[in-house]
Structure 1
């Protein structure tokens, strides 16, 4: 095992451990809220689904790729490989929908009274919840393609028929077919990315207008409430920017793996690292002090001054 594989193994191991710690911490926050008898809101539900999706990504991509980087091989059979890649695709899809739903929901919540989106505040909760559950069904169906072409690790004499992923193999197609397959599966991702960018742009516009108005308002109570809402909005904007950055890096690695006939193990390590970055860092963004939606809702429950749908 070369120095490069050892280095990637250390990085992937640290990334996976940090990701599990972060998501477990965020999960314990919601368990605490449930034990305290607090009613779950729409953002709580979205983040809980995001936690589940993060765990799927860490378990099904971070852990196996870490084992490969440390020199372990052939620890999955055909069924295991199919399920690991299938669940990873499902988790990845739900992750992007959850992040998109968070940004859209908060964009609706902070919309001004004169905005056309302000009338959707009362219905946003039902629509967002339905979207999350619908996304599970959609990606459970779309990801079934993985069950058809993924298989267990193959020997070197079958290298011309299968593409090796270290711990699993895939039936080899021509590069054009692989790119077409990635493009078809990317349609929901592109749609969600577009909605996220739209919501982020709208939130930036609202924050700018809020900053302009606050220059003429001196009341402390109003400023405190608006400031808390602004910090929550900035947290979601950071979450969206992080997702878009890591998603772009992941797509580049996936395209390279698809078009290269025999990709190197280092490329697979880099692709796994890019895919697991968001599940690793997203819980820390959501827990970053009082600037998170969690803290916003928790503060609202205590003070009972701010009512969210």
Structure 2
């Protein structure tokens, strides 16, 4: 129990750090989008990703025992709303990271590539794609109908999700179908991330070989930022895939075996939220404008 309490405290701390970093990233992206005459498509997507992660991490704080009890409406509704939002935001995080990876692959693709035909089209359809993935993600959380308050049922019928909320035992067909559909959706998008990342790695490798062949150590101003952005997105995707793999192993075991361990659940929640917490720091550190602005603020504070 002491380990579980310690994990919950760390979850709140992790969520607070993540919300602060994502808020900074989102504000800068909104500022860029409103004032910059030609914002990059990736600016909109990374801002969208920051917004999703803010909501995702807020769910962690709202589901903490003390705050959950202080909210003045039925626990059953609270459980359904919070877990619906948490699952929806997790799906949106996967979709948006995948979209970011694909868009960067299109951006750095050579003019002779078939992907080059999508460069101008992608800028026009980004907003429509985001609306589509919101609709798809919000319609993919039917499991919330089985989320109830723990005190309403006997423990034998429940898979405990938190101190107050649990999941009703479902028909084996429904459980298997829900599990398979969710895994298929997630693995499909992770697969696209991996393919687009592999394509970007190949392009960067070819560029490096070409530079060595020409005996040149300098890179054109236009190429350098694109290369840096590509490396940042490759780092994000790699980190996401590793965290997703760990989460998949833990959640699959708990769901299929219907086994609950509060410490295992706490560790899983930490793993799920690591990407949402770390990703804004990666994106902020790779953006000179944000990094310089934050350094100026720190210097003034001193």
TM over 0.5: yes
Q: Which structure 2 residues correspond to residues 204-223 of structure 1 after superposition, within 5 A? A: 204-215=201-212, 216=214, 218=216, 220=218, 222-223=219-220
Report Cα offsets for 1:210-250 as digits up to 9, x if no partner: 11122216495x53332221111000000101111111111
1:159 and 2:158 matched? no
Q: 1:175 to 1:246 in 2, by over 3 A?
A: farther
CA distance in structure 2 between the partners assigned to 1:125 and 1:71 by the alignment: 41
Q: Which runs of 5+ in 2 are unaligned?
A: 292-302
Q: Of 86, 107, 115, which residue of structure 2 is paired with 1:117?
A: 115
Who is 1:104 aligned against?
A: 102
Asked if the contact 2:26–2:51 (Cα under 8 Å) also holds between the matched residues in 1, the reply is no
Who is 1:258 aligned against?
A: 255
1:204 positional shift = 0.3
1:90 and 2:93 matched? no
CA distance in structure 2 between the partners assigned to 1:37 and 1:224 by the alignment: 20
CA distance in structure 2 between the partners assigned to 1:217 and 1:108 by the alignment: 28
Partner-residue secondary structure (3-state), 1:185: helix
Report Cα offsets for 1:184-220 as digits up to 9, x if no partner: 1222211111111110000001001111122216495
Partner-residue secondary structure (3-state), 1:170: strand
1:119 positional shift = 2.0
Asked if the contact 2:30–2:47 (Cα under 8 Å) also holds between the matched residues in 1, the reply is no
Q: Which runs of 5+ in 1 are unaligned?
A: 296-309
Who is 1:287 aligned against?
A: 284
Who is 1:178 aligned against?
A: 175
Who is 1:248 aligned against?
A: 245
1:197 and 2:194 matched? yes
* TM-score, scaled to structure 1: 0.84
- Number of paired residues? 287
Partner-residue secondary structure (3-state), 1:223: coil
Q: 1:229 to 1:73 in 2, by over 3 A?
A: same
1:175 positional shift = 6.3
Q: 1:64 to 1:269 in 2, by over 3 A?
A: farther
RMSD, aligned α-carbons: 2.6
